[in-house]
A and B are shown apart, each in its own frame.
Chain A
Amino acid sequence: MKYILLCLIFFFGLTACDNSEELPPRVEDTTGWSITIPTTRLSYEERDSIQKMKDEYEEAVAKRAAEEIAGNK
């Protein structure tokens, strides 16, 4: 009886260790994670439209300056 009980205790002890080597799930390194939104190159048409905007802006500034001079007179 004594041996039977010892065997039982021994096997009982082993039942708890079926995954003794198990590790927590690996979490990928996130410290260096960032986000980059892709950009593209401007086409020639798009560069032209920007140049047009610049010209319009310069013209508007000049017009305002002229209006101011006319107003002062």
Chain B
Amino acid sequence: MSVETVVTQDDLAEMVEQVWASYLDPEGVSPLIPTGDDKQATEVHSTVSITGTWHGHLVYASSMLAARRAAAAFLAMDADEVGAEDISDVLGELANIVGGNVKAMLPAGCFLSLPTVVLAPETASYYPAAERISGLWGQWEGESISISMWQSVKHGEAA
């Protein structure tokens, strides 16, 4: 079974909207604007892995400035007060929140890993035997943000 039949790009967009409404844009004035540009550059990313009835990864990636602004919004502080630890923590939590919501849409019997955060471009990570199956690419206050799903090819074929 392909996860695309279970979690669509629209589903990802809905999850992202909820995250923005709750934490990043509670006033509803600066939403994530989808661009569909899957080649956009990112500077930091976080990953959660899902195993069980479906195998793959959920990757949240953004520019450093977007990550800094996200941390500032989460922590209710100014962006210039945010430290590297804050940024890592918030990046991990963003992947965890979206990954948790993705997991809820998958067939029962999946497990979600703790998040892994890498303060380097998304291209610095490699997911062996996995291929990107869907994603949401956009701009938040002019900064790049993406959420993508990678499915393990081997397990995907068996599922």
Real complex partners, A and B? no
By a beta-carbon cutoff of 8 Å, the part of chain B in contact with chain A is none
User: Which A positions have Cβ atoms within 8 angstroms of B?
Assistant: none
